[in-house]
Amino acid sequence: MNKLLSKKGLIVCLTVAILIIVAGAFVAGFVGYNADSTGRNYSSVEVTDAGYSVSDVQDRFVEFCKAEIEKTYAVSDVKVTQTYTTGGMVFTYYVDGTPDRAFCDQLETSIAGCTIEGVNGSLVSVTFHEGKNLGYYNYMWRTAVGAAVAFVLLFAYVAIRFRLGMGVTVLIAGVHDAAVVLAVVALVRLPVSPALAGVGAFALLLSALLNLLVFGRMRSDLRTDEFKGKSAAEAVSESVRNARPTVLLVSVIAAAFVAVFAVVGAFIGFDMTSVMVSALFAVLAATYSSLVLSPALYALIKEKWDAKRAQKAKYNFASEKKKKEDAPAEVAGEIR
């Protein structure tokens, strides 16, 4: 990573990112995100136990019912809820397929004949449901508007306090990171909950933090005499090398946490794993953009602006000569 991306490399990277974002937007727009357990459509078998069993008995009963249901339908998840008023337990088995009344009657008969001590079959009833989830449009739109305003303010602040080119770069990097994360999540069909809006916000804030670490360092470096004689690419590259330890430290801390939680999620509930994998995408995107994409982009902008500035400051020999040639005559005329 010592060398900056070339112009060609930058164009390839940005094109790939745009393709990912467009494909992700297409999938998210037309197919939608893959909802996790809190937002999916479902077919379920619901076993209501009005009796009060101790936790050990309850666990055995849940396993018994699951085994019975799995004879006909694959069970994807089991959810335990408790009725607020009576305290009775409800075990919801999310199944692949569409159960019917006959299946529920058959399950009720099996439960009545079960030999688990402490379970009273006559207090157990079985029913089935089909649920269709309705999306969270308001949450998503409000977060998108909030993020857009945050991006504008981020650009304005960096452009004023740092340099205009840095403001443009931070804005592009922020939009790139948040959009790529959301697009990749849609493309790989990772199950997501409304927490995805939080992951998007996390990507935005992390991208801003890491990019500011790089540009903060660059701002102070570019002021020094040592950097003044260097070309834009050299100066940016060296400054990024100076900022890299801090950026990597923050990224590694974030990535390590997220990875550990993702592994933990594999044991306690897949919803956590899926949201952590989305967050890992955010960490990777922000680290990549702050160390690779943004410096290359800024070097390109700086090179162009430096050239423009040099062009303005350059001594124009031809026009000056012409001026000098015209000047004596005018001066002479004045004397006359």
Partner 1 sequence: MGKKKSVALIVLVTVVLLGLLFISITPTFPVKTPYSFQSLLNSVRLGADLGGGYGAVYYPEGVISAEEYAGEVARYENGEGTDPTEQYVAHGGVYLDSEKVLDENGEVLESFRTEFETAYRVFKQRFEDKNFTEYSFWIEDDYTIRVEVSDVSDLETVSDMFSILSYSGELYFSDTDTSTNSKNVLMTAGSEHISGVSVMDGGDSGFVVALKLTKAGREKFAEITETLSSSSSSDSSSSSSATLYLYMGTDVLMSMSVSSTLDQDVVYIGGTTSSGSVAYPTRESAETVACVIRSALNEEDVFSLDLQPQVYSYGATMGEHAALIIAVVFGVAVLAMLVFSLVRYKGMGLAHVYGFFTYALIFILCLAFVQGIAVNIAGVFAILLSAAMMVGFNYYAFRNIRKEFYTGKTLTSAIKSGYRKSLAVTIDTHIILFIASLVLYLISLGSAQYMALIFLIGTVISAACTLAVTRFYLYMFLAQPKNKIAFCNFRREETEDE
3-state secondary structure of 269: coil
Nearest to 99 by CA among 62, 46, 37: 46
Burial call 153-164: b when 16+ CB within 10 Å, e when fewer: ebbeebbeebbe
Does residue number 69 form part of the binding site for partner 1 (CB under 8 A)?
no
**CB 249 to partner 1: min, Å:** 5
Span near partner 1 by CB under 8 A; candidates 181-189, 264-272, 291-299, 320-328: 264-272
Of 146, 159, 284, 303, the one binding partner 1 by CB under 8 A: 146
Of 51, 75, 246, 292, the one binding partner 1 by CB under 8 A: 246
Judged by CB under 8 A, the chain residues 4 through 33 that form the site for partner 1 are none
* Backbone φ, ψ for residue 316 (5° rounding): -90, 100
Does residue number 238 form part of the binding site for partner 1 (CB under 8 A)?
no
Q: What is the widest separation between alpha-carbon atoms in the chain? A: 128
Give dist(CA 237, CA 292) in Å, integer: 10
Does residue number 232 form part of the binding site for partner 1 (CB under 8 A)?
no
Per-residue mark of binding to partner 1, 277-316 (x: CB under 8 A): --x-------------------------------------
What is the Cα 308 distance to its own chain's centre? 37
CB 150 within 8 A of CB 161: no
**CB 57 to partner 1: min, Å:** 18
Judged by CB under 8 A, the chain residues 80 through 109 that form the site for partner 1 are 80-85, 90, 101, 104
Smaller CB separation from partner 1, 217 or 302:
217
Question: Is the four-CA dihedral 188, 198, 203, 262 of positive or negative sign?
Answer: negative
Nearest to 57 by CA among 103, 119, 14: 119
**CB 315 to partner 1: min, Å:** 35
Of 13, 107, 111, 154, the one binding partner 1 by CB under 8 A: 154
Does residue number 233 form part of the binding site for partner 1 (CB under 8 A)?
no
CB 183 within 8 A of CB 17: no
Nearest to 147 by CA among 213, 211, 203: 203
Give dist(CA 199, CA 210) in Å, integer: 16
Does residue number 55 form part of the binding site for partner 1 (CB under 8 A)?
no
Does residue number 164 form part of the binding site for partner 1 (CB under 8 A)?
no
Beta bridge partners of 186: none
Give dist(CA 66, CA 99) in Å, integer: 14
How many chain residues are in contact with partner 1, going by CB under 8 A? Answer: 82
Span near partner 1 by CB under 8 A; candidates 22-30, 75-83, 176-184, 299-307: 75-83
CB 211 within 8 A of CB 294: yes
Does residue number 168 form part of the binding site for partner 1 (CB under 8 A)?
no
Span near partner 1 by CB under 8 A; candidates 1-9, 137-145, 225-233, 319-327: 137-145
Give dist(CA 235, CA 41) in Å, integer: 54
Smaller CB separation from partner 1, 84 or 317:
84
Span near partner 1 by CB under 8 A; candidates 42-50, 109-117, 182-190, 294-302: 42-50
Judged by CB under 8 A, the chain residues 186 through 225 that form the site for partner 1 are 193-195, 197-202, 204-206, 208-209, 212-213, 216-217, 219-220
Smaller CB separation from partner 1, 42 or 61:
42
